[in-house]
Chain A
Amino acid sequence: MLSTTSQVKVDPRDAKLSMAHFYVAFIALAIGGLMGLLQTLVRSGKFELPGGIGYYEILTVHGVLLGLVLTTFFIMGFQHAAVSRTAGTHSNAARRTGWIGFWVMTIGTTMAATMILMNKATVLYTFYAPLQAHWIFYAGLTFVVVGSWIDGAAQIMTYAKWRKANPGKPGPLLSFMAVVNTVLWFVCSLGVAAEVLFQLLPWSLGLVDRVNVLESRTLFWYFGHPLVYFWLLPAYMCWYAVIPKIIGGKIFSDSLARLSFLLFLLFSIPVGFHHQLTEPGIDPAWKFFQVILTFLVVIPSLMTAFSMFATFESAGRAKGAEGLFGWIKKLPWGDARFTVPFIGMAAFIPAGAGGIVNASNQMDQVVHNTIWITGHFHLTLATSVVLTFFGISYWLIPHLTGRKLSKAMNKLAIIQAWVWLTGMTFMSGSMHAEGLLGAPRRSAFSLYNGAKQAAEWIPYQIAQAIGGSILFLGIILVLIIFVNLAFFAPKGEEEFPVGETDPNAEKTPMVLENWKLWIGLTIILILFAYTIPFIDIIRDAPLGSKGFKTW
């Protein structure tokens, strides 16, 4: 659905804004990835950190930089480019808003990072009270979230401008998707903002003495689960709306793509209790209710899987593929822009199945807080999402910098993805297996007083170190490609691929653009799932907790 206002090339001024986000994202990847390598080495039991650096300090750096900084900066950079490309160049006001968002996020990141490096905030990226970090850490995180709101507002401004100029027409698909993700982000990050602003900041500043621990955890997980969908949806943007163009096919269905995004908006927020299944103080009936809502994301996930393979098959058949699986051979396996995200897509099949285990009441009790969980989100976030992000950068970075992805870099990018998959198979595979035996997540190397069970875990931890080392090699490769594409690749025009719908496809129904309806439904579901248990949590609260610094 190419509209008249869509630009084939992202305006250079918007490109600069996007690139600023990517520089921060890839610096975070470099440092955070190194920390990940060190963690797997420490936990193998064969290596100790020099200079008295604490394991949990580097664990905090790893989680904050990769889970919060890399993702948020990459996503905002990508969405700026996607909106500018499909809904038209940012106005000066929108662009200025974007820059303000960028700087607020960057200042916040610096504040939080400084506190972590000074060992004043070794609370991991989930910062569970009553562990009490320095107030500057919490203020820094607030800046990151508020900055991302400002950044997102800029994207909504440009989208609204397009809608106003094209009355009665659904907005361009990629922009629509970026806006859904931004709305999801606004609604869910209100939870963490409330936790930090009303609970943790005043408490760490000494303005209040005590904090309600369960309330803070509930607010955190109201945010924490949609956070993973905020990471995932930009990858889906690429799968739904970019990949069809790369493989020479058409978008399977514009309306179903939009509908699945809206279903993610509905079902990703009122589900935080499935992270709190083993916690006291929450009624099991409410836990089960949120488990049901959790499972409903299966529907848009299955819709996505169907659309992807339908697109692949029809593209293959249009190129003359025969037989049941002949179309597989017609896919452009030599093109990194396709193959790299495809590997991520394939990883989502076991990753999603693992997620169903985690969300099931009883099975969660077996795996909760074991290293199985770490294995799970290294498949979802650190494989499906991150490989897709890498795949996006291979055309987006040169598009923005006026360069071209050379044949050599394309090849290196494909090698990088296979290296990544190999490393992750070792690391995530052994994490899953070790977790089933009971080994905990987020723990340094320990013999647990010579316990026999713990001794059985060590071979898996060595496998994780091997996987971690291979993954670090993967990070070096992707950084080489990034630096090449940003500064050294040959000058030229790299396409920003935007998929088109079949010309015979039905018109997209305008109800999908009825934001009042969808945001209203989202709020109703949230109120339904959270009001009563949240009132119970506050009403039946025990004496609150003072702050502890146990690191």
Chain B
Amino acid sequence: MHIHKYEKIWLAFGLASLIVFLTVIGISAFYLGNKPPSCLTTINPEKVDQTVPFNHPGLHKVEGKEWDYELVYVAQTFSYTPAEVKIPLGAKVKVIATTKDVVHGFEVAGTNINMMLEPGYVSEYVTTFNKEGEYLLLCNEYCGTGHHLMSSKIEVVK
């Protein structure tokens, strides 16, 4: 099959940029640790309230871990528990969340916290809150009539 010289150059350029893109993504994911939230822990979705740590939703200081706080959320149609939380500026936080019923989204607008909550699974993401202010946590996966009312507030304070 004959391929025109210009097309060869064009495809070589395309392939080269492809390799650059994939290398950047790969290094970022597996060397720098910027993997998408992919927690493999499961949970009985009908016993969320009785299961550690979801029996105590909210912000908890922890010792001897890579992060300073654990922030635990339980989602259900159409709310998050806790409905409001204050986080000290600069805190390294592991966000841990799950759902009691249908699939929900878990997105903190203006940050990189964005993960799916699926019944039976725990979702986790470690992040540092570096900017003071009010953040909106909202559901970004359709979950029913009140989907657009499902939100919670995060305040990052000094």
Contact = CB atoms under 8 A, between A and B. Distances in A.
Contact of B118 (A214, A453, A548): A214
Nearest to B1: A255
11 contacts: A213-B120, A278-B37, A284-B29, A295-B21, A362-B29, A369-B140, A438-B138, A443-B142, A446-B149, A453-B110, A543-B45
A259 B1 contact: yes
A287 B120 contact: no
A298 interface: yes
Interface of A: 54, 56, 59, 124, 128, 130-131, 213-214, 217, 253, 255-256, 259, 276-284, 287-288, 291-292, 295-296, 298-299, 302-303, 306, 310, 356, 360-362, 364-366, 368-370, 437-446, 448-449, 451-454, 506, 509, 540-545, 548, 550-551
Contact of B112 (A255, A365, A451, A506): A365
B59 interface: no
Contacts of A551: 144-145
Interface in B83-124: 101-103, 105, 107-110, 112, 114-124
Closest 5 A-B residue pairs measured CB to CB? A550-B144, A438-B109, A542-B120, A440-B140, A542-B42
B116 A283 contact: no
Contact of B148 (A256, A299, A445, A509): A445
Given A370-B140, A451-B153, A361 B35 contact: yes
A437 B46 contact: no
A284 B148 contact: no
B4 interface: yes
Interface string B1-41: 11110110011001100100110011011100011111111
B120 A356 contact: no
A451 B83 CA distance: 13
Contacts of B153: 449, 451
A448 B136 contact: yes
Contact of B38 (A259, A283, A454): A283
B71 interface: no
A506 B3 CA distance: 11
Given A281-B42, A281-B118, A299-B15, A288 B151 contact: no
B122 A280 contact: yes
Interface residues of B, number: 69
Contacts of A283: 38, 40
B129 interface: no
B15 to A, nearest CB: 7
A437 B136 CA distance: 11
A370 B6 CA distance: 39
A365 B145 contact: no
A56 B114 contact: no
Contacts of A217: 103, 118
Contact of B121 (A124, A253, A280, A451): A280
A284 B14 contact: no
B19 to A, nearest CB: 9
Contacts of A54: 145
Contacts of A369: 105, 107, 114, 116, 140-141
B44 interface: yes
Contacts of A281: 38-40, 42, 118, 121
A452 B115 CA distance: 22
Nearest to B147: A443
B62 to A, nearest CB: 21
Contact of A361 (B34, B110, B135): B34
Contacts of B108: 438
Given A259-B1, A302-B14, A454-B109, 17 more contacts: A128-B141, A255-B2, A279-B121, A280-B37, A288-B25, A361-B35, A362-B28, A369-B140, A437-B109, A438-B136, A440-B139, A442-B141, A443-B140, A443-B147, A444-B147, A542-B44, A544-B120
Interface in B32-73: 34-46
Given A362-B29, A438-B110, A452-B134, A278 B103 contact: no
